[in-house]
Amino acid sequence: MMLASTSTSSTSSFSSSSSSSSSSSSSSSRIHTLLCLLCLLSRLGLGRYIEDNDATDGLYSLLSLDQKRDAEDFVFRRPLRCLDMLATEGQFTFMAAQPQLACAAFLIGEPSEVISLELSDVTVDCSAGDFIKIFDGWVLKGEKFPSSQDHPLPMRQRYTDYCSSGAPGGASRSSQNVAMVFFRIHGPDSGFTLTVRKLHNPFPCNIMSQSPEGSFTMVMPHQHRNCSFSIIYPVELQLTELSLGQRQAWRGCTGSGDFVELLGGNGVDTSKMFPMADVCFSPRGLTQMRMGCDNSVVRLVSSGKYISRVSFRYRLLGRSELPQAQENSLDDFCTVE
Ligand SMILES: *[C@@H]1O[C@H](CO)[C@@H](O)[C@H](O)[C@H]1NC(C)=O
């Protein structure tokens, strides 16, 4: 019941995650980041769930998370909430005290990780309309990340439905560093346990950043594939290195083979986002721009003819730094609400 097999033939890769978003960050800043992520998710379309589920309580239960998992070899366990964000390995048990009809757990790993999910101790009643579905990616406001254009699997195969699949309990594995579990449970004292493990992904392609600050290098060696790095915050983004395998500068990016797209938007589907810039050669002063949208994306479009590589760093834009709206201009896309 795999969500996706590792693309063994794939050579596209993001490498050298020298990011401040990775494990070096302190426990408290990491928790802060997760809370922000949950707040942003609410802006991106989960407001209803947040209201229904007493956000404050939920956020505080996340706070105790990192403090408990000091010892290695210790399996971290805690209850799963109806709306939850999981960034650590462990066992998470949901038990419905009352009917819970619209629950969602968002899972996220480091850029070079994929997520393995296993269900156990399942006591839901599929015939009564209960369900548990695992999705290979994130869905927010009906939009999906990675977009159907960029994901290696057709949409239908990205869902694993506990109730209709014949092999309950098998492990599912995501194709990128994010995955999601939807569930609906009517009966009291029904529930399940979700075991989360992180696996190394030598060739990450689509990535959701956990943090609003960091740096990253995407490498695409001779692979006809497009990969997106998504930061669901308004950020200032600076391209620090660009190598697209071409020797001379191009007049425009059209027809030039490989290029980098900078996209902005308020949803997570990159195919519905607004192109803010195309970059296909290294300008003297490397590109730096402020992207005032809820979601900022660096997308490497690759023909497969070259070894393409782009490095960038990003930081959260302060409220006062957000680009201002200009009337009757395309620039008013994604300005302060
Ligand atoms: C990559 O993106 C470009 C431009 O958006 C598109 O023309 C091309 O078909 C895409 N390639 C793949 C393999 O999806």
Distance 249 CA to ligand 1 centre (A): 21
Distance 155 CA to ligand 1 centre (A): 17
Give the span between the Cα atoms of 332 and 337, in whole angstroms. Answer: 10
Give the span between the Cα atoms of 258 and 305, in whole angstroms. Answer: 8
Once rounded to an integer, what is the mean pLDDT over residues 37-47?
55
pLDDT of 77 over the 90 cut: yes
Give the span between the Cα atoms of 312 and 288, in whole angstroms. Answer: 9
pLDDT of 9 over the 70 cut: no
Give the span between the Cα atoms of 296 and 83, in whole angstroms. Answer: 24
Confidence of residue 68 (pLDDT cuts 50, 70, 90): very low
- Give nearest CA residue, ligand 1 atom 3: 301
DSSP secondary-structure letter at 160? E
Distance 225 CA to ligand 1 centre (A): 7
- Give nearest CA residue, ligand 1 atom 10: 226
Q: Looking at ligand 1, which atom is closest to the CA of residue 302?
A: 1
Confidence of residue 299 (pLDDT cuts 50, 70, 90): very high
Quick one: pLDDT at residue 29? Answer: 54
72: left (phi over 0), alpha (psi -120 to 50) or beta: beta
Quick one: pLDDT at residue 286? Answer: 62
Give the span between the Cα atoms of 46 and 60, in whole angstroms. Answer: 18
| Measured CA angle at 72 (ends 69, 77), to 5 deg | 40
Alpha helices in the chain (DSSP H): 27-41, 47-52, 55-63
Give the span between the Cα atoms of 24 and 16, in whole angstroms. Answer: 14
Distance 19 CA to ligand 1 centre (A): 27
pLDDT tens profile 213-229: 999 999 888 888 899 99
Quick one: pLDDT at residue 155? Answer: 94
Once rounded to an integer, what is the mean pLDDT over residues 186-205?
93
pLDDT tens profile 158-174: 999 999 875 556 689 99
Quick one: pLDDT at residue 112? Answer: 93
Once rounded to an integer, what is the mean pLDDT over residues 252-263?
77
Quick one: pLDDT at residue 306? Answer: 83
pLDDT tens profile 25-34: 444 555 555 5
Give the span between the Cα atoms of 145 and 96, in whole angstroms. Answer: 28
Q: How many residues does the chain have?
A: 337
307: CB partners within 8 A, 6+ apart: 219, 220, 221, 222, 243, 245
Confidence of residue 4 (pLDDT cuts 50, 70, 90): very low
Confidence of residue 208 (pLDDT cuts 50, 70, 90): very high
pTM of the shown model: 0.78
Q: Which of 148, 225, 226, 300 for mutating ligand 1's site (highest number of atoms within 8 Å of CB)?
A: 226
Pairing of strands 274-279, 259-265: antiparallel
CA-to-CA separations, 249 to 252, 256, 283, 299, in angstroms, rounded: 9, 10, 9, 20
Quick one: pLDDT at residue 145? Answer: 96
Confidence of residue 23 (pLDDT cuts 50, 70, 90): very low
